[in-house]
Amino acid sequence: MDAILASMPANPLTGQVRVLTNWGANDFTVLPTETAWKANYQMIIDAVRVKWPTALVYLSKPWSRGNDTNADTLAGWIDDLVAANPGVAFVADDERVWLKGADDGATMTTDGVHYSAAGLAEKTVQAKAVIWP
């Protein structure tokens, strides 16, 4: 994370810096402990705020096909992180709703995990609606 942030400009935008994060879908096969997962995500939030002290950090709620229970678990943990970081962290889009859709992700993903062209376009719409309403 430090290397990624180090490669970013100190002030990438004029005005408010807003960072969209989308972590967790890769954790569904072997879900870490709640404490470890939250600590890792908190480290990411903190690292973003070190880089950009006034940044607003938006956390997407991840989903992938066949992992509804774990997606619900991480959604709750994300809610906890947002509550623990008032004025800093915010809930972004919820992939359990738009990515899964009525067809278990057939339209919005290529394989139940990765965005299709339609999914990528919809991710943009969903994130923009939350981050820049």
Range of the structural domain that residue 119 is part of: 17-131
- Let me know if residue 6 belongs to a domain: no
- Let me know if residue 108 belongs to a domain: yes
- Let me know if residue 81 belongs to a domain: yes
Q: Please count the structural domains in the chain.
A: 1
Please give the Cα distance from 104 to 71 (Å, whole number).
13
Confidence of residue 128 (pLDDT cuts 50, 70, 90): very high
Please list the alpha-helical segments (H only) found in 1-133: 2-6, 34-51, 68-84, 95-98, 117-131
Confidence of residue 14 (pLDDT cuts 50, 70, 90): low
Q: Are 92 and 59 in contact (CB under 8 A)?
A: yes
* Percent of the chain topping pLDDT 90: 83
Q: What is the CATH number of the domain that holds 114?
A: 3.40.50.1110
Model confidence, pTM:
0.93
CB neighbours of residue 126 within 10 Å: 19
Longest dimension (CA), the chain: 42
Look at residue 12 in the predicted model and tell me its pLDDT. 65
- Let me know if residue 10 belongs to a domain: no
Compute the mean pLDDT over every residue in the chain, rounded to the nearest whole number. Answer: 94
- Let me know if residue 60 belongs to a domain: yes
- Let me know if residue 43 belongs to a domain: yes
